[in-house]
Structure 1
Amino acid sequence: MFHAAEYISPGIATVIANTQPLLAAALGSVALNERLTWRGMAGLLLGFVGILSIAAPEFLSGGQKTYVIGIAYIILAALGITVSNVMIKRIAGKVDALMAMGLQMLIGSVPLGIVAWATEEPASIQWSFAFIGALVGLSLLGTALVYWLWFSVLEKAPLNRANAFSFLIPIFGLMIGTLFYGETLGWPQLTGIALAIAGVSLVTRYGTRSVTVAPETGLSRSPRTQE
C-alpha cells in the first residue's frame, strides 16, 4: 500500500484501495454464506466501471508503466485487506481483540523487517523528530489502534455494514491529496469515484442475503433481505 505511493498519487491510490468492499462482498458470498442479489451483481459491475474510469486518463497519457505498477500494488493490498477482513469476521467474538491484533502486528513485522533490512539501507535513515513522530504515529495510531478498533467493530457488526464506513476514506484521501500534494482531478476521475462508491454502496446496502440455519431442523434457509 505505502510502496504504491511511489507510482500513483495518494488520492487516487486511496480511492482504488477502498473499493475492497466489492471484493469482500464477492468473497463473503463463499466464506460467510452471503449470497449476492441482482443488485449486488449490478453494484460490482458499477464499481468495476468506476475503476476503469479512474484509471483511463493515466493509461491514455503515456505513463502506463509506472501507473500499472502502482495499480498492481494497490490491487494486491486490496486483496490482502479483503482476505484479512473475512478471516477477522470469522474469528471475531471468539478471541480477544487486543491479543489477536497484537499477534497480527508481531507476526507481520518479522518478514517485513527481514525484507526491509535486506533491500534497504538502514544507515541512510535521517533520524529526526519529524521522522520519529511520523513513525510513531503510523505505527501506533495509523496501524495498531486502527486494526484493534476495526476488529472490535467486526465483533458486533456485519462485515458489509461495517465496510460501509470505508466510503468516507476516499473522500478524506482526496481532500488530503488536494490540500497537501497539489492534486487536481478531472471529470473522468470524479465520475469514476462516484461510480465506484455507488457500486460499493449498492452491494453493501442491498446486495446480499445471509444464509441461516433453522435451529430445530438444522436445515439452512436463505431469507430475502434488501432484495
Structure 2
Amino acid sequence: MRRFYAIGFLVLVAFDTLAQISFKLAGEHALPLEFSSAWLARVFGQPWIYGAFVGYVGAFFTWMTLLEHAPIGPAFAASHLEVVSVLALSAILFNEPIGWPQLLGAALIAAGIACLARSEAEEQAPPASVPPSPHGA
C-alpha cells in the first residue's frame, strides 16, 4: 500500500504542477490582461490553457482515488508538495529568483510532510510484543 500512496502522490503533484505551470504560460501568452472577448479568445487560443484543464481534472481524480485509501491528514499535507515543485520549475522555466526565504519554506514543507508521514506509519505499525514478566503475572 505504501507504493500505491507514493505513486499516487507523485501523480497528484505532477498534475497540480502541470496545471500551475500551464496557467502561467497561458497567462503570459494572453497579455495584455483585460476583460473582453478578445482576451478570452487569446486565452482559449493558447494550448497551455488546456494543459491547465488536464492538470486540474487529473488532480481531481487522483485526489479522489487517494482519499478513498489514504489517511486524510498526511494525504492533505502531501498534496501541498506542489508548492515545492512549482517553485523549482518556475526557477528553471521562467528564471524566477529563489532566495533563502523560499528555500527555507520549501524545506519546512518537505520536513512537515515527512514528519506527518512518519507519525502515521508509527500509528499503523503493529504493536510491539511485550515480553512476559519474569515473575509471572
Q: TM-score, normalised by structure 2?
A: 0.50
**Which structure shows the higher strand fraction?**
1
Greater relative contact order structure (CA < 8 Å, 6+ sep): 1
Q: TM-score, normalised by structure 1?
A: 0.33
